[in-house]
């Protein structure tokens, strides 16, 4: 069994808090338009969406970063664009993990140019020790150490996305 870092109950409890914060900031009647960053964030989006009260919608985009191994090079490009415009919408970008910050910085720049009414970001996991760019994030689920994490949408060579919890596959601790 892959060792547990964050269990399913802790994930769901924290996600309920994030959902309440997102709705509180958006206001009760505002349509919250979630932009899910593929692939890793799709499990998080599915659970988050179901516990946000009031009107919501969602769309999906794909990104790829280039560099050696698991190190982000800072070069990011879109592999799948959104299906719907963002202009005038209350947008919340949904990411699974914030590492160097290059991906999110790129996304915030290109999405802001589409003139949403608001552009917020929620990240389930953050590794502060890995940050290279001080990108603004409105909601963070859990800050974690620099461990190789899988599960709950996150993969190792496409495996383990189906684990119902966040696990670790490195050798530390
Ligand atoms: C992860 C994550 C972010 C990015 C964060 O995606 O979903 O998009 O890396 O890294 P950064 O802060 O260093 O830019 P990944 O490359 O694992 O792709 P996947 O979600 O499709 O598995």
CB atoms within 10 A of CB 34: 21
| Residue 47 is among the residues annotated as catalytic for this protein | no
- Give kind and range of the element (H or E) at residue 171: none
Q: How many residues does the chain have?
A: 173
Bridge partners, 33 (sequence order): 57, 91
CB atoms within 10 A of CB 162: 11
* Phi, psi at 136, each rounded to 5°: -75, 135
Give residues (CB < 6 A) around ligand 1.
37-40, 63, 65, 72, 95-104, 155
Q: Are 142 and 127 in contact (CB under 8 A)?
A: no
Tell me the pLDDT of the chain (173 aa) as tens digits. Answer: 999 999 999 999 999 999 999 999 999 999 999 999 999 999 999 999 999 999 999 999 999 887 544 555 668 999 999 999 999 999 999 999 999 999 999 999 999 999 999 999 999 999 999 999 999 999 999 999 999 999 999 999 999 999 999 999 986 54
Take atom 22 of ligand 1 and give the residue whose Cα is closest: 40
Q: Look at residues 105, 10, 103 and name the one whose alpha carbon lies nearest to residue 63.
A: 103
Query: Which residue among 10, 47, 81, 99 is the active-site one?
Result: 99
CA of 51 relative to ligand 1 center, distance in Å: 24
Q: What is the pLDDT of residue 103?
A: 95
Query: Whole-prediction pTM value?
Result: 0.94
Q: What is the pLDDT of residue 170?
A: 81
CA of 166 relative to ligand 1 center, distance in Å: 15
Q: Which of the 8 DSSP states describes residue 138?
A: S
Q: What is the pLDDT of residue 68?
A: 46
- Classify domain 4-66+78-169 by CATH architecture: 3-Layer(aba) Sandwich (3.40)
């Amino acid at each position: 069994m892959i060792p547990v870092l964050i269990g399913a109950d802790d994930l769901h409890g924290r996600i309920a808090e994030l959902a309440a914060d997102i709705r509180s900031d958006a206001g009760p009647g505002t349509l919250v338009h979630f932009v899910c960053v593929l692939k890793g964030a799709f499990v998080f989006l599915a659970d988050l969406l179901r516990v946000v009260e009031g009107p919501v919608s969602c769309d999906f985009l794909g990104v790829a970063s280039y560099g050696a191994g698991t190190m982000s090079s800072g070069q990011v490009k879109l592999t799948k664009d959104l299906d719907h415009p963002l202009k005038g919408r209350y947008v919340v970008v949904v990411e699974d993990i914030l590492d160097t910050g290059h991906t999110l910085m790129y996304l915030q720049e290109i999405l802001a140019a589409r003139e949403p009414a608001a552009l917020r970001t929620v990240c389930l996991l953050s590794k502060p020790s890995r940050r290279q760019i001080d990108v603004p994030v409105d909601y963070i689920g859990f800050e974690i150490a620099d461990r190789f994490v899988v599960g709950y949408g996150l993969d190792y060579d496409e495996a383990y996305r189906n684990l119902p919890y966040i696990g670790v596959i490195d050798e530390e601790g």
